[in-house]
Chains A and B, each alone.
Chain A
Amino acid sequence: MTKEYKTINEISGPLIFVEKTEPVGFNELVEIRTDTGVVKRGQVLDTSDAIVVVQVFEGTGGLSKESSVRFTGDVIKMPLSPDIIGRVLSGSGQPKDGGPPIVPDVERDIGGAAINPSVRDKPRAFIQTGISTIDGTNTLVRGQKLPIFSGAGLPHNDIALQIARQAKTLGEAESFAVIFCAMGITNEEAQHFMRDFERTGALERAVVFLNLADDPAVERLLTPRLGLTTAEYLAFDLGMHVLVIYTDMTNYCESMRQMGAAREEVPGRRGYPGYMYTDLATNYERAGIIMGRAGSITQFPILTMPGDDITHPIPDLSGYITEGQMIVSRDLHRKGIYPPIDIRPSLSRLMNSGIGEGHTREDHRAVSDQLYAYYAEGCDLRGLVAIVGKEALSERDRLVLEFADAFEQKFVSQGRDEDRSIFETLDIGWNLLAELPETMLTRIDDHIIKQYHPKYRKE
């Protein structure tokens, strides 16, 4: 199967069309050599007796009809061994740190088979990130995929880094690793991450994949798959708890759109391919825990919402797959609040299984619900105040309005290195709620109020 062909019939964008081949497998890895000896890699998208369509990861620049094409007879695989920890690789998996190539113990198909749903374990181990808006109101658990939806110029990277630094489970010390995949981000942003990883020593237990803004766009379609294949190896072969941060999914999706256009496919909503949901799912769903295996994969994808629009297909389809979303808000950022996480549209779908007695504290759910209810109501009232003025508010409404302001200042806002325990977070919540009359705490069971309300606790 290593015959070389010089039968390229057409080159169009990132695609080449090859004729008169022996049977070639779908999704097979392809190597293309230019006249000058540069070797590029590609993947079969469509194969038939008549023609084979190949997408070229490093771009088709420099290719001509004279270039030779070799079909490897195998799908794309990632070489893996424990030595991969600490390495910096390119977006297509080649060493980028001057180190030797990875000598594989195993090689894995980067497509990644689906975890059989019946062997998945239920994620329920509370991860304390030290950030109140996450731990208190949108709790993260091990094995979850929780993206950050942000916008250009907002501090999502700082939040991701703070999480990577502070994330821990209460109690046990366990082996863990961070996988960082950059897709089309600027060199400066990448440096920001790398410096922080170096400063905190995180690099020693990280694997970094870098596809930067000036690297080929098609390569980006590989990057998360390489990262997640590595994550599965570390988690399910070596038993590590793996945190995967990948940024920016928006660039990844743009590459997908570009590929779709090159293939002249019928586009779905706003020009993105109809299979974008499925494609994203094959990445995001590679998070989780498997019964009887020690490790776990937790994902933190970051994406910037084009035009801050959450209904844009990229955040929209992501939100339909991930287990919640953290929304970084431009309004809060403008007010000078860090981390500017707006809890109202944010959500952690797996929160319930990771909180409460035995996980965090018995009052967690009730406190969170009550905080949500009055913060949301207070934000609504701000709109009203803008029209009718504070004077027109009832006494109750005035209290709710003040609560919302205090909530942003005391609960949401915290330092970039401030690592709050979950108990501190819940107590901040209680102190805010204690400013309201007790009869207003309608979402909290009486026995919980009696036990945790500051008024009763002081006695």
Chain B
Amino acid sequence: MEVGKVYRVAGPVVHATGLKSHMYDLVLVGEDGLMSEVIGISGDKHIIQVYEDTAGVRPGEPVKETGAALVAQLGPGILTSIYDGVQRPLPALAEASGDFISRGLFVDGIDHKKKWDFEPVVKKGDLVKPGQPVGTVQEQLLIKHKVMVPPNLKGGEVKEIYSGNFTVEETVCVLDDGTELPMIQYWPVRTARPSTVKMAPTIPLRTGQRVIDGFFSLAKGGTAAIPGGFGTGKTVMQQTLSKWSDVDIVVYVGCGERGNEMADLLHEFPELVDPRTDRPLMERSIVYANTSNMPVAAREASIYTGMTTAEYYRDMGYDVLLTADSTSRWAEAMRELSSRLEEMPGEEGYPAYLGARLADFYERSGRVTTLGGEEGSVSVVGAVSPPGGDFTEPVTQNTLRIVKVFWALDAKLTQRRHFPSINWLESYSLYDLDLEPWFVENISPDWNNNKRRAMAILQENAELEEIVMLVGSDALPEDQQLTLEVARMIINYWLAQSAFHPVDTFCPYEKQFDLLEAILGYREFAFEALGRGVPVDVINSAASKDALAKIRLLDDYKPELEKVMKQMADEFKVMS
């Protein structure tokens, strides 16, 4: 390993001489050995981004090579971890250096001393391929960790296989060519982990959010972007999805955002239980917290370390959700580093490769057949933070070119405290048609029809509202006034959903369906009544209509809903 010398320091970028490292190799800069990565080679100089604060680093200080790229440590013990952007466990950093993060600390991504109970799933003489499990470890009460042959090895015949308690570094399996397999594997974070086949997006990812599941559904293995100005609800949505989505594993990447938000999540996740398993959400979660005031280079890396851990659990056959809050901060980190490298800036100062990097990242999503022959998925939801809430900016635009689902947050809805502030006219899901059969088979033959009917009402509502702005609602024909009222019900009683209401934060498919069906049922009654000459004011003052508003807040809603629907039928029967 060579030892080079610092030549120049400007913020997080260091130039060094005398190195032989390759691009993206990890190097240690200065007397303190600051964790860094080679991001350019120019003439006799290596250009290095430093994952830690460079204050005090001088020209002439040593730069040590490590001979390896930035890798993630993969093995049992990742779940429940809280990492910085380069997979250093934050609690361990706190133990080493106190409440404020200091520099030059190296901590393993997973505990190398802890012993795990390894149970083999292969026996001597079996043939194992790359990606195939050789054993399992009960990582959490309900989550089995599969110990797999690393995808970059050849595999072979099992010569020795052990069982019992081992640390992640101890050999648990030996192959015929002498390869010794410990539980831990190291994977370069910027390289996608391979899989066999990418499958069609035909299974929805259930989020329990009506506007999403009902209107703009995400598929397992799919990609979605959630752009919005500050305060429009990106973070709350990402946290809500992380809580309630029907996935096995959640990777939450807090990329250049708030410390207090991370504290909130870290306090909440251990206490909330996963409705599917009744176990604390934290047991299925991995959190990367590289807040806005932590070094930008590590922020840039956090997206990749997060993705690598997500892929690793996918390879075990799990459904994984990765949420990145916010991909704009990641893009800005790229921009900042690019400008320090004095690269040619593209649009708004972002590097010309912005679009390519975004595409590479989202491309790592998907529902796949793993090398080991299982079915697993990584779904990705990226928050985008457009300056001034203007969606024409480069990060939003480049993202929309790639992702299949667009949840457009709308500041006007936010101001009315309509949450989630997802604009129902602008948003879309390109998985729509692929997912329809699933809903018909699994929830109701009417699911898709109801959706289309509701959307048509909202569309008409938007057009009518423009007229109302000119002439007032009383000037509209009565049937249109009714449509306005029904639209208002869909918006306020169905699309609106508080993430903080203990019950309404999560809405099962069946309840979503029943609630919308009830509103559309009201519409039938109302138009029927109008047809026989009942004045619109009388229709609109039906008590059962307002009673519908609160059904969603009930956990055991069915009896109440039945009561209200019966009341509605009775009311309309006598209405004149």
A residues near B, CB below 8 A?
Answer: 23-28, 45-50, 74-75, 109, 111-123, 143-144, 236, 265-269, 274-275, 277-278, 281-282, 285-288, 290, 293, 311-313, 316-317, 319-321, 323-325, 344-345, 347, 349-350, 352-353, 365, 369, 372-373, 376-377, 383-384, 387-389, 392-394, 397, 439, 442, 445-446
Q: Mark B303-345, 1 if CB is under 8 A from A, else 0.
A: 0000000000000000000000000010010011001000001
18 A-B pairs, CB-CB below 8 angstroms? A25-B57, A47-B58, A48-B8, A49-B8, A74-B56, A118-B289, A120-B262, A120-B263, A268-B335, A269-B387, A274-B349, A285-B259, A293-B99, A320-B385, A345-B415, A369-B498, A392-B471, A392-B473
The 9 A-B pairs of least Cβ separation, nearest first, read: A392-B472, A311-B388, A48-B8, A281-B292, A120-B263, A118-B90, A113-B100, A27-B55, A285-B293
Taken together as a complex, chains A and B put the C-alpha atoms of A347 and B335 apart, in Å, by 29
Q: How far is the CB of B383 from chain A (nearest CB, A)?
A: 11
A282 touches B293 (CB 8 A): yes
Closest CB-CB distance, B508 to chain A, in whole Å? 21
With a cutoff of 8 Å between Cβ atoms, the chain B residues found around residue A123 in the complex are: 260, 263
**A48 near B9 (CB under 8 angstroms)?**
yes
CA distance A321 to B260 in the complex (A): 11
A50 contacts across to B, CB distance below 8 A? 8
Q: Could you say which of A49, A282, A373 has the most chain B C-beta atoms within 10 Å of its C-beta?
A: A49
Closest chain-A Cβ to B538's Cβ sits at a distance in Å of: 13
Tell whether B10 is near chain A: CB-to-CB under 8 Å: yes
- Please judge, given known A-B contacts A277-B292, A397-B473, whether A265 and B90 are in contact too, CB under 8 Å: no
Q: Mark B residues whose CB is within 8 Å of A.
A: 7-11, 15, 53-61, 82, 90-91, 93-94, 98-102, 229-231, 254, 256, 258-264, 266-267, 289, 291-294, 296, 329, 332, 335-336, 339, 345, 348-349, 385, 387-390, 411, 415-417, 468-475, 492-493, 498, 500, 543, 546, 549-550, 553
Residues of B within 8 A of A119 (CB): 94, 99
B335 contacts across to A, CB distance below 8 A: 268, 274
Interface centre among A27, A115, A144, A287 (most CB of B within 10 A): A115
| Residue contact B553 to A445, C-beta cutoff 8 Å | yes
**Closest-CB distance, A352 to chain B (whole angstroms):** 6
CB neighbours of A277 from chain B (8 A): 256, 292, 329, 332
Q: Is B292's CB under 8 angstroms from A285's CB?
A: yes
Cβ contact within 8 Å between B336 and A114? no
Quote the shortest CB–CB distance from A261 to chain B (angstroms).
Answer: 14
Smallest Cβ distance from A38 to chain B, in angstroms? 27
Q: Among B9, B55, B293, B349, find the residue whose CB has the most chain A CB atoms closer than 10 A.
A: B293
Contact B329 A117 (CB under 8 A): no
Shortest CB–CB separation between residue A355 and chain B, in angstroms? 10
Contact A49 B7 (CB under 8 A): yes
CA distance A43 to B281 in the complex (A): 46
Shortest Cβ distance from B552 into chain A, in angstroms?
11
| Complex Cα gap A312–B500 (Å) | 31
Are B55 and A25 in contact, with the CB atoms below 8 A? yes
Separation of A80 and B348 alpha carbons in the complex (Å): 42
Task: Report chain B residues within 8 Å CB of A113.
Answer: 53, 100-102
Q: Which residues of B contact A266 (CB under 8 A)?
A: 339, 345, 349
Asked whether A350 lies within 8 Å of B260 as measured between CB atoms, the reply is: yes
- In the assembled complex, which residues on chain B have CB atoms less than 8 Å from the CB atom of A377? 416
- Complex Cα distance A191/B570, Å? 71
List chain B residues, Cβ under 8 A from A288: 259-260, 263
State whether A120 touches B260 (Cβ < 8 A).
yes
Contact in complex: A321, B258 (CB < 8 Å):
yes
Contacting residue for B289 out of A25, A117, A269, CB 8 A? A117
CB of A274 within 8 A of CB of B336, answer yes
Q: In the bound complex, do residue B470 and residue A118 qualify as a contact, i.e. CB atoms below 8 Å apart?
A: no
Q: Which residues of A contact B54 (CB under 8 A)?
A: 26-27
Given known A-B contacts A236-B99, A269-B387, A324 and B59 have beta carbons under 8 A apart: no
A376 partner residues in chain B, CB cutoff 8 A: 415-417
Q: Are A122 and B267 in contact (CB under 8 A)?
A: yes
Q: Give the CA-CA distance A278 to B387 in the complex, in Å.
A: 14
- Kindly name the residue among A116, A120, A365, A389 whose own CB sees the greatest number of chain B CB atoms within 10 A: A116
Determine whether the beta carbon of B59 is less than 8 Å from that of A48: yes
Q: Are B339 and A274 in contact (CB under 8 A)?
A: yes
Determine whether the beta carbon of B58 is less than 8 Å from that of A25.
Answer: yes
Residue of A nearest to B389 (CB): A311
CB distance from B275 to the nearest CB of A (A): 21
In the complex, residue of chain A having the shortest beta-carbon distance to the beta carbon of B267: A122
Contacts of B549 in A (CB 8 A): 442
B550's partner among A28, A313, A397, A446 (CB-CB below 8 A) is A446
Known A-B contacts A114-B100, A277-B332, A278-B292; A316 and B230 likewise in contact (beta carbons under 8 Å): yes
Contact A109:B470 (CB < 8 A) given known A116-B99, A320-B230: no
The answer to whether A290 touches B417 (Cβ under 8 A) is no
**Complex: A48 Cα to B57 Cα, angstroms:** 10
Check A445 against B550 for contact (C-beta < 8 Å): yes
- Given the complex, which residues of A lie within 8 Å of B292, measured CB to CB? 277-278, 281, 285, 321
Partner of B55, one of A111, A313, A439: A111
Q: Give CA–CA (A74, B55) in the complex, Å.
A: 9
